[in-house]
Amino acid sequence: MSFGSPVGSPFNGPSAASTSAAAGLPFAGMPSELAERAEEVLADEPEHIVAEVPFSAAVFDREPFTLRRFLVGHRLGLLGAVALVIVETLTLQAGPLLTQVGLDRGIAPRNLSVLWWVGTAYLASVVLNAATSAWRVSYTGRLSERLMYELRLRVFSHFQRQSLDFFTEEKAGRLMTRMTSDVDALSALFQDGLVNFAVQGLTLVIITGVLFALNVELALVTLLVVIPSMGVLTIWFRGASERGYGRVRDKIAEVLSDLSESLAGIRVIAATNRQSYNVVQHANIVGEHRNANLYASTVGAVYGPANEAVGVLGQAVLLLVGGRMVIDGSLTVGELFAFLLYLTAFFAPIQQLVQLYTTYQQGQAAVVKLRDLLGTQPSTIEQPDAYELPDITGRIELRNVTFGYDPAYPVLHGLDLVIEPGETVAVVGPTGAGKSTVAKLVTRFYDPNEGSVLIDGHDLRDVTLGSLRRQLGVVPQEPFLFNGTIGENVAFGRPEASPEEIETSCRLVGLGDLIDRLDDGLDSLVHERGSSLSSGERQLLALARAFHARPRVLVLDEATSNLDLRSESVIERALDVVLEGRTAIVIAHRLATAMRADRIAVVDQGRVIELGSHSELLAASGAYARMFETWASHA
């Protein structure tokens, strides 16, 4: 990056210097010695990564997620780690060999200068080992953080890309588990798992090599005593710990799932006095988690000491056999000593490797779960050849649409409906008739099983999702507010809008009173999910958000159901202004809202059973007329 970079350079320092030059200030530019240093700093500066998340053209993770594929992109980094590991292991294992040399060539022949040399070499190897070890730990730490960053972003982007049905079927808590414990399991694997595996494996190889180089016979005897008993122990441990950790993983997912549901539903829980029941339920789940953990740690508790016992046994055998060889003169004291030291060093890696095997297994299980997750294809995907929906006039057509959330049980049966540009059509009908479903199809949250949904003659499946939703405004039946200010929530779809524009949108839907009443006005915080606002206010905010994006088509699902009569009349007037010239689908239980529409569609059991203006439908004295009569007599 050069300093002459134009405005928009992310680095303020240098560009500030050039601005001062432009402003005619005495100091223009940077002294050369400073500039050099600044270049160095910039070269070290980590690149600011802007998440490039593709959403278009059916982009999702097509390749199954595997450990190898994931790591391949980082092979240089991993090679660096391996190089450090080799130096670290070699320097560590030099110790016993130096001891042997010191004993046999220094102490036994009483040669002080050899002893000095050996001592110095020992010291050097220790220092070198400590230094590479520190470097390796921080190096692999950074490498693993990079990997984790990439993975978390990938999983999160994947969630963002999914269709609605995905979130209906998956429990939120389980999805959280993917992001927390599964990603953590992989993190543990990368952090010390893989590298440690290399360290310990290499240690074993080196030690075995040295043992055989020192004395083949003794090496054979020792390994024959040690390896079979360790093998049996290890095979048992592998099976048992696999079972144990499998259970622990399942249980932690249940704990998180129950926890997140209880937190989200706390109001209902409190209102229905279910606290104690919930505590009992959670206690059961947590109890199972504890039992699973206890089992896993019991297995570990048996394995560790048993392993040590085998180690001590090995040393006893070594002392006996090796001691006799020393007496025979076929082995030196120094060699025996080195053997004993190496044997001790032989056990640590085996124990570590077995523990690492657990880490590896957990990581592998996480990989499998992440592969399943990353392999789910959104059900409403863009065609590879999807085109941008041009600016629409807003003619909506549902042509013979059959749709069921489960295709075996259709909710809409061959529904036909045409809405002309600029027309407002109210959709009324009993609960569960399929009104919200119509709204979800028009906004392409789902695709019809049969038939098609068209806007200006374009099948929704042929156009890009982005270009479609830019021209659609939706107020869902349960509006969602984000943690942030009122202004931010309103400007959600068009964050670049000026505060004046945001305020206009708010006042238009009748939020003026609320903004005036709050001390901070538009900057007042709505707490999580808008819990600090009334549900009517939340609806108005959602309306303001939809209006604010100035879409061609508006879909309002019960957008006024929680309002009092006075607010409703404010809204009716606002709707008249906002819907002017726009195509709108207004789903409404309240017939006062419905009767103002150009036409009314009565939906029952997934079909349009009546369609016409308020007066036409009254004259037809069908279902709508009956609904209206009941409603009018209550009002």
Q: Does residue 84 touch ligand ATP according to CB under 6 A?
A: no
Which range in 130-138, 351-359, 363-371, 431-439 contacts ligand ATP by CB under 6 A?
A: 431-439
Closer of 99 and 436 to Mg ion (Cβ): 436
- In whole angstroms, the minimum distance from the beta carbon of 360 to ligand ATP comes to 39
Closer of 98 and 563 to Mg ion (Cβ): 563
Closer of 398 and 433 to ligand ATP (Cβ): 433
- In whole angstroms, the minimum distance from the beta carbon of 405 to ligand ATP comes to 3
Judge contact between 502 and 542, C-beta under 8 A.
Answer: no
What residues contact residue 105 under an 8 Å CB cut-off, 6+ apart?
Answer: 111, 114, 118, 334
For residue 603, list its beta bridge partners. 608
Closer of 435 and 582 to ligand ATP (Cβ): 435
In angstroms, rounded to a whole number, what is the distance separating the alpha carbons of residues 47 and 54? 20
Q: Is 410 helix (H, G, I), strand (E, B) or coil?
A: coil
Closer of 189 and 594 to ligand ATP (Cβ): 594
- In whole angstroms, the minimum distance from the beta carbon of 603 to ligand ATP comes to 7
Judge contact between 594 and 588, C-beta under 8 A.
Answer: yes
- Which of Mg ion, ligand ATP, none does 432 bind, CB closer than 5 to 8 A by kind? ligand ATP
- In whole angstroms, the minimum distance from the beta carbon of 493 to ligand ATP comes to 23
Between strands 424-428 and 583-587, the pairing is parallel
Q: Does residue 168 touch ligand ATP according to CB under 6 A?
A: yes
What residues contact residue 28 under an 8 Å CB cut-off, 6+ apart?
Answer: 17, 18, 20, 21
- In whole angstroms, the minimum distance from the beta carbon of 352 to ligand ATP comes to 49
Q: Would residue 598 be called left, alpha or beta, if left means φ above 0 and alpha means ψ between -120 and 50 degrees?
A: alpha
In angstroms, rounded to a whole number, what is the distance separating the alpha carbons of residues 434 and 410? 10
In angstroms, rounded to a whole number, what is the distance separating the alpha carbons of residues 536 and 528? 16
- In whole angstroms, the minimum distance from the beta carbon of 554 to Mg ion comes to 16
Among 249, 289, 435, 545, binds ligand ATP (CB under 6 A): 435
Which range in 301-309, 325-333, 428-436, 572-580 contacts Mg ion by CB under 5 A?
A: 428-436
Closer of 149 and 167 to ligand ATP (Cβ): 167
- Per residue, the 3-state secondary structure of 515-571, as one string, reads HHHCCCHHHCEECHHHCCCCHHHHHHHHHHHHHHCCCCEEEEECCCCCCCHHHHHHH
Binding mask 375-414 for ligand ATP (x = CB under 6 A): ------------------------------x-----x---
Site for ligand ATP in 185-224 (CB under 6 A): none
Which range in 8-16, 26-34, 113-121, 426-434 contacts ligand ATP by CB under 6 A?
A: 426-434
Nearest to 626 by CA among 137, 512, 530, 617: 617
The DSSP line for 468-531 is HHHTEEEE-SS----SEEHHHHHGGG-TT--HHHHHHHHHHTT-HHHHHHSTTGGGPEE-GGGT
- Which of ligand ATP, Mg ion, none does 155 bind, CB closer than 5 to 8 A by kind? none
In angstroms, rounded to a whole number, what is the distance separating the alpha carbons of residues 442 and 468? 10
Q: Does residue 229 touch ligand ATP according to CB under 6 A?
A: no
Q: Which amino acid is at 542?
A: A
The DSSP line for 48-100 is --------STT-S--SPP-HHHHHHTTHHHHHHHHHHHHHHHHHHHHHHHHHH
Closer of 369 and 599 to ligand ATP (Cβ): 599
Tokens, residue 466: 């982005």
- In whole angstroms, the minimum distance from the beta carbon of 412 to ligand ATP comes to 8
Closer of 315 and 436 to ligand ATP (Cβ): 436
Rounded to 5°, angle at Cα 54 from 453 and 407: 35
Closer of 237 and 628 to ligand ATP (Cβ): 628
From first CA to last CA, the distance across the chain in angstroms is 71
Among 9, 66, 293, 477, binds ligand ATP (CB under 6 A): 477
Nearest to 71 by CA among 143, 137, 136: 143
Distances from the Cα of 9 to the Cα of 2, 29, 35, 48, 430, angstroms:
10, 16, 16, 12, 58
- Which of ligand ATP, Mg ion, none does 437 bind, CB closer than 5 to 8 A by kind? ligand ATP
Which range in 90-98, 315-323, 433-441, 624-632 contacts ligand ATP by CB under 6 A?
A: 433-441
- Which of Mg ion, ligand ATP, none does 78 bind, CB closer than 5 to 8 A by kind? none
Q: Does residue 434 touch ligand ATP according to CB under 6 A?
A: yes
How many amino acids of this chain bind ligand ATP (CB under 6 A)?
Answer: 11
Q: Does residue 591 touch ligand ATP according to CB under 6 A?
A: no
Closer of 314 and 476 to ligand ATP (Cβ): 476
Tokens, residue 289: 């988690």
How many Cβ atoms are within 10 Å of 152's Cβ, its own excluded?
Answer: 13
- Which of ligand ATP, Mg ion, none does 588 bind, CB closer than 5 to 8 A by kind? none
Site for Mg ion in 435-494 (CB under 5 A): 436, 477
Closer of 11 and 405 to ligand ATP (Cβ): 405
- In whole angstroms, the minimum distance from the beta carbon of 463 to ligand ATP comes to 24
Q: Which amino acid is at 522?
A: L
Among 228, 432, 466, 512, binds ligand ATP (CB under 6 A): 432
Binding region for ligand ATP (CB under 6 A): 168, 405, 411, 431-437, 477
Binding region for Mg ion (CB under 5 A): 436, 477
